[in-house]
Amino acid sequence: MIRLAVRVRRADAEIVLAELLSLAPAGVEETDLGADVVEYAVYGAPGELPALPDVRAAAGNALVEVATTEVADDWAERWREFHRPVTVGGRLHVRAPWHPPAPAGTHDVVVDPGQAFGTGAHPTTRLCLELLQQVSAEGPFADWGCGTGVLAIAAARLGWGPVTALELDPDAAAVIAANARANGVEVEVRAPFDLLAEQPPWAPTVLANLTPVLHREVAARIEQSPERLIAAGFLARHADDVAPLYAPLGEADRAVEGEWAAVSLA
């Protein structure tokens, strides 16, 4: 297994992440290295990873360093350890299938992340789960950019339905469908779905866990605003810039963890 790592300045991290996700839509590993530097990494067998010229072009002037290394034979086990179970808001317990079931009284959300994020490993996932529990769970629900499907599945477990999940990665449909079956819920998956080229399906409640660049583009293209929208995927210092993009919806709630934020709009 090969690890391809890209180090960039924090000020440029969000733009670079958006570009890298277009090259590796299954997800990237993010590490804060301090000294105002962030590292993004993707894993794969030789020949599966993005070409180095493409990575350099994606990072542009923000690039600090790019390197490839061979990963030790115990990589799969270390990847499993990364995805620790998390309980959010006292009602949702998100875990990978190799961890024990949820404590009594909570909704057990079981998601196999493969090689991508999606079991609460990133603060944006936890922030979305927190805000989801503050909204009345009723009627149709759409997840615009669903990754492993954890948030769409959590929404179905909380009581929304029907649930639609959109994802750019064409291989996501089978993964999300399998995760939905493991949780005994139904999720309609549309993959590949390009939010920059297609009009997302309307639902009264929408979750958009996207980069700031995608938020700006998607918000400008919406033909009909949802009744409620949870927006995430950005640093707290950008929350005041992202929330107004979805006007006439206004900010009703905000959740912050570390340097990340999510807003609930209605």
Domain residue extents for the chain: 2-71, 85-265
For residue 115, what pLDDT is reported? Answer: 46
How high is the pLDDT of residue 22? 67
CATH topology assigned to domain 85-265: Rossmann fold (3.40.50)
C-alpha distance from residue 235 to each of 8, 107, 157, 180, 231 (Å): 16, 28, 28, 29, 12
CA distances from residue 32 to 22, 81, 231, 239 in whole angstroms, order as listed: 21, 18, 23, 20
Block means of pLDDT (10 residues each) for the chain, 266 residues, are: 84 79 70 83 74 79 82 61 74 83 83 59 85 94 88 94 90 84 92 91 94 91 95 90 95 91 96
Please tell me the predicted confidence (pLDDT) of residue 92: 86
- Identify whether the C-beta of residue 2 lies closer than 8 Å to the C-beta of residue 67: no
pLDDT at residue 229 in the model: 97
Whole-number pLDDT of residue 72: 67
Give the contacts of 135 (CB within 8 A, at least 6 positions apart): 205, 228, 230, 264
- The CATH T-level fold of domain 2-71 is Alpha-Beta Plaits (3.30.70)
Q: Do domains 2-71 and 85-265 have the same CATH topology?
A: no
**What does the pLDDT read at residue 156?**
95
- Residue 118 has a pLDDT of 53
